[in-house]
Amino acid sequence: MRGTVDFGYRYRAGWHVLVGAVAVPLGVAIAVDVTVAIGQRLLALCTLAVIVAWYAVVAPQAMENRDECWGVVYFAALAVAFPLLLAIAPMSGVLLFALCPQLFVMISRWRVRLPLLLILYAELAWAMVARVGVSRYTLAMVGVTVLIPMTVTILVGAYLTGIREQNRKRAALIEELTRTRAALERAGHEAGVHAERERLAAEIHDTLAQGFTSILMLAQTARTTLLRDTTAADNQLDILEKTARENLAEARSLIAALAPVDLTGRSLADALDRLAARHIRDTGTHVEVLIVGERSGAPTGTDVALLRTAQEALANVGKHADATTVRIELRHENGLMILTVTDDGRGFDPATVRGGYGLPGIRTRAATLGGSCTVRSAPGQGSTVRVDLPMAMAEQAARSLRAARNPSATPDPEQADPAR
């Protein structure tokens, strides 16, 4: 696989330019060198052409392929052709400006690089000594034109190798981060889908399912009274029709992802009043609503959660408690909204409740909003469901602002609303 930051691959055109920038002037210089016989010049030009052709055929594969065998084969052939070219035209040593960088791109192991590098520079030194002879001047020239460039080449090659390795690690890290991000996105999407399914299940259970249960009970009651008392049956059918309409409105609200119908244009206190009146109408059980503290303002997620809690609690009372009186109390105190639903029914053991969407759904909804749910009950002693939720930040801020402007108007938390 090609590395996304592989210098040798991404900038291959640069290598072509470098080879051309060295080979073309060298070929021109060899062609016009009148100090060399024309036959030798032709041989040198042919050798240079073979080296360039060898580069064109093998070098791209050696740069792209991570297997060093291509690079070793490439430089092994150059180690044979390069001294022949040097023997004819010593100026051909300039080819090392193109060959040495290629060496550090094609071969990654130093134990392979160094011998090849030493061979190339040794061939250059041999060509100089063979042409001029051994002398102090020759040795000085070898030091200046061979040893110093070779040392600089090794240092620069080590630097470039470090950069390539760093880039390779960064590329691997980027690929890993990309895969991790994609996995997190998939997990987040799946978690969101699961959470939305859970939310819809709870909403349907607390609204549509309860409404259909009421419709079923009303239809059964109307059937039993139809032959005995048509007036009573007619009243039951009216209630059944109203319940069906209310359920249809809840379904439309749920589909549109709007606030509950009872909260549309109303406060939570008004919605609890409507809920209590509907329960009294459907079951005949007396329901008392008590609001302690300040009334809620515009509907919030907290109001929706508390209304759904009251709906579920009343539905459980109607199905299981056989109660005569239910008390719904809503308190605003200490930054909390506290809803308590208490009945005088037959009670139950909370530890025996398993599965379903009733009490577990209430607990889940409360926990989602940073609150808590407490259930107290015992057989024969009624039951109490209490949910504590933190008030919405905007509502709490508005409440604090009103209290700061008019401290004397702050309601007494222990004083009930006289309208209740």
* Least confident interval from 31-35, 40-44, 107-111, 396-400: 396-400
The phi, psi pair for 156, rounded to 5°, reads: -65, -40
Q: Is residue 62 part of a domain?
A: yes
Q: Is residue 403 part of a domain?
A: yes
* Least confident interval from 39-43, 51-55, 251-255: 251-255
At residue 419, does pLDDT exceed 60?
A: no
Same domain flag for 129 and 275: no
CB 292 within 8 A of CB 330: yes
Q: What one-character-per-residue DSSP string does 231-283 give?
A: HHHHHHHHHHHHHHHHHHHHHHHHHTT---GGGTTS-HHHHHHHHHHHHHHHH
CB 246 within 8 A of CB 261: yes
Domain boundary among 105, 133, 161: 133
What pLDDT, on a 0 to 100 scale, did the predictor assign at position 158? 83
Q: Give the residue from 350, 341, 355 showing the smallest Cα distance to 379.
A: 350
Range of the domain at 305: 267-420
Instruction: Work out the pLDDT band at 257, boundaries 50, 70, 90.
Output: low
At residue 58, does pLDDT exceed 80?
A: yes
Range with top average pLDDT, 189-203, 259-273, 321-335: 321-335
Separation between Cα atoms, residue 270 and residue 272, nearest integer Å: 5
CB 208 within 8 A of CB 254: yes
Average confidence (pLDDT) over 242-251: 74
CB 135 within 8 A of CB 128: no
pLDDT in tens, 178-197: 999 888 988 887 887 777 67
Residues ≥6 apart with Cβ < 8 Å to 86 = 92, 93, 123, 124, 126, 127
Residues ≥6 apart with Cβ < 8 Å to 331 = 292, 293, 337, 338, 339, 340, 413
Query: Which CATH number is 374's domain given?
Result: 3.30.565.10
Instruction: Work out the pLDDT band at 304, boundaries 50, 70, 90.
Output: confident
**Intra-chain end-to-end CA distance of the chain, in Å:** 76
Q: Is residue 181 part of a domain?
A: no
Instruction: Work out the pLDDT band at 409, boundaries 50, 70, 90.
Output: very low
pTM for the full model?
Answer: 0.43
What pLDDT, on a 0 to 100 scale, did the predictor assign at position 294? 60
Q: What one-character-per-residue DSSP string does 345-356 give?
A: S----GGG--SS
Give strand pairing partners of 225. none
What pLDDT, on a 0 to 100 scale, did the predictor assign at position 339? 92
Q: Is residue 305 part of a domain?
A: yes
Domain boundary among 84, 109, 133: 133
Helices (H), 65-109: 69-88, 96-106
* Least confident interval from 195-199, 333-337, 348-352, 360-364: 195-199
Helices (H) and strands (E) in the chain, counts: 14, 5
What pLDDT, on a 0 to 100 scale, did the predictor assign at position 174? 92
pLDDT in tens, 341-353: 999 988 888 877 7
Instruction: Work out the pLDDT band at 57, boundaries 50, 70, 90.
Output: confident
Q: Is residue 278 part of a domain?
A: yes
At residue 420, does pLDDT exceed 60?
A: no
What pLDDT, on a 0 to 100 scale, did the predictor assign at position 253? 64
Q: Is residue 63 part of a domain?
A: yes
* Number of independent structural domains in the chain: 2
Average confidence (pLDDT) over 23-33: 87
The 10 Å Cβ neighbour count of residue 57 is: 10
CB 65 within 8 A of CB 75: no
Q: Is residue 82 part of a domain?
A: yes
Domain boundary among 133, 153, 176: 133
Average confidence (pLDDT) over 98-116: 82
Q: For a pLDDT cut of 90, what percent of the chain falls above it?
A: 8
What pLDDT, on a 0 to 100 scale, did the predictor assign at position 398? 45
What pLDDT, on a 0 to 100 scale, did the predictor assign at position 387? 92
Instruction: Work out the pLDDT band at 254, boundaries 50, 70, 90.
Output: low
Strand-strand pairing, 286-292 and 325-333: parallel
Q: Is residue 247 part of a domain?
A: no
